[in-house]
Amino acid sequence: MIERTVIVVGPGGVGKSPLDALFRDDIIKIDPYRLRSSGPRDSGDIFYAHPKLRDELLLALAALSDRSLEIGSPERPIEWFPRGKVLFFKVRRDWQFLILSGVEGQVAKAEIYAPILPTLLSNPEISGLLGGKIQIVILNPAPESVMVMQDWNCLEEETRQNCEERGDSPESVRKRVSSVAEEAPVWKQLIQEHAATEYCAWEFPEYLYKRTPSGVDSAQHRKQTLIKARNRLLEGNPGLVMFFKGDDEIE
């Protein structure tokens, strides 16, 4: 059983993916597979799967007499197969699935779509599989906390810029910007109900890691950026230290 888990959430392009290099080598990664109809985002999209896989997995689960429980809402469908410990849920328009069977270890790191988190955390069986103690990190690129925002305009604009600088297609940018209005209220809920740690004005978007200053080694630039990001995370929540590598271990 997982003892402690950190879950990192935030809008598109904010820099969630590069942080993977900060986490201990022995940490358990809990990542959903993305059934994108548009295909993989790029060559590094290792959790892409063809949408046809959903149909095949449903047939396999049915053959094992594993019936789904509908634990989400019509607007946010979540299907839970308790025997196989498989979750299906929608992110924007595409299905994702997460396999929680056999997930064991001391510490884990998960990246799960924020709007479904309250439902998952309210289900004792699922939350128990995710971890005994769960800490949630919210990366907010806007200067103002979601707790006091009057609207999401600034957050949407920051997300637009981060995704465009990352090189997203116009359609991808549009999807991630439009998703802010769905995600931001949930981040607020996670702060209120699950003591999530919010990092306002998060200054380490994904594109930053690839923009090496002139005369600086690219690997060294990436490492130093990661160290700065880790230190910022620890300033907000020193308890996260158990999840991270030391300076010499970061590659």
Q: Tens digit of pLDDT for each residue in 156-196?
A: 999 999 999 999 999 999 999 999 999 999 999 999 999 99
Is residue 146 domain-resident?
yes
Per the structure, the count of domains in the chain is 1
The yes-or-no verdict on residue 37 having pLDDT over 80 is no
Q: Which of 80, 20, 8 is nearest to 46 (CA)?
A: 20
Query: Does some domain include residue 198?
Result: yes
8 A C-beta contact, residue 155 and residue 141: yes
Average pLDDT over residues 23-50: 83
The overall average pLDDT reported for the chain is 92
Domain assignment present for residue 9? The answer is: yes
Residue 67 in any domain: the answer is no
- Residue 202 resides in a domain: yes
Range of the domain at 196: 4-31+106-249
Q: Report if residue 219 sits inside a domain.
A: yes
Summarised one tens digit per residue, pLDDT across range 86-116 is 999 988 788 999 999 888 888 999 989 999 9
Q: How far apart are the first and last CA of the chain?
A: 29
**Residue 225 domain flag:** yes
Residue 242 belongs to some domain of the structure: yes
Query: pTM of the full predicted structure?
Result: 0.89
Residues 6+ apart with CB under 8 A from 132: 1, 2, 3, 4
